[in-house]
Structure 1
């Protein structure tokens, strides 16, 4: 497998200053060139660069070649980073929804006399799934365990690194709707 593409370009930094973040600009000024690392290997990077240069030549933009390449590749890096953070946010929202639904179910089941807390363990493979279910059938113990979870969430005693801001905001919203006692 080829290494990650590293492309050195010597653009007119004044022309592209608005497209570089301060760290990239400082590094470029110190080095006298811009190094971009697109998300493909060296062979693909060279091929894309040649194709883009052919387009620039065709349209009379050869004198701006390095500036345009920097803008394209830095834009691609920024887009990939934004996509990564969007995915993280999306996953965080889904986790917050799952946990919030679970907490609401516990809260709403307080008046139910047949509440059971359970765990479904998924094991096996995609082609041969195997599930094991474990339930606490005693209603008093189930309600007690549910209340422990509610109390921990209300007091903020949950793994912040896992749930973060999205979860805190969801719990705050549930508090506003009256599902939990406000802090």
Structure 2
């Protein structure tokens, strides 16, 4: 619906030579810049990531490079980085977090905490994340809106039925309306 949101631009992040084995991401982020006449922040960028579990720490760290690429390309730091980062438990350990550059970037706020559980299974892991960057974007997040959509509880599903939908719960956030 173009009355709600318009795409201003998009590109795949170039992370190196895939055939050479020197690329960073298993699934390169597809970056999209949006304009919305209905949100307080008029323009913002979304960067999705589905990190490879075995290289999750490296891929999450490389999101810093994606962030700087977007800032340099589009002159904005109003960026939402989000998705299945595989950012917890055995894939990213507490000893790895200090070396993940995006984690300590003052311009960014991690909206889904380490204590969250985004998995449908009996594990307790915060794999899925939303990271909001940029002063305007962070100020225009509806307070308390970053959450995990536990569809299993909402729809009273058995575990096997919930797992047939996904092994992760969706994460969501709301931008303030104008």
- Note whether the superposition's TM-score is higher than 0.5: no
TM (normalized to structure 2)? 0.23
Point out the structure with max Rg over C-alpha: 1
Q: Which has the higher strand share?
A: 2
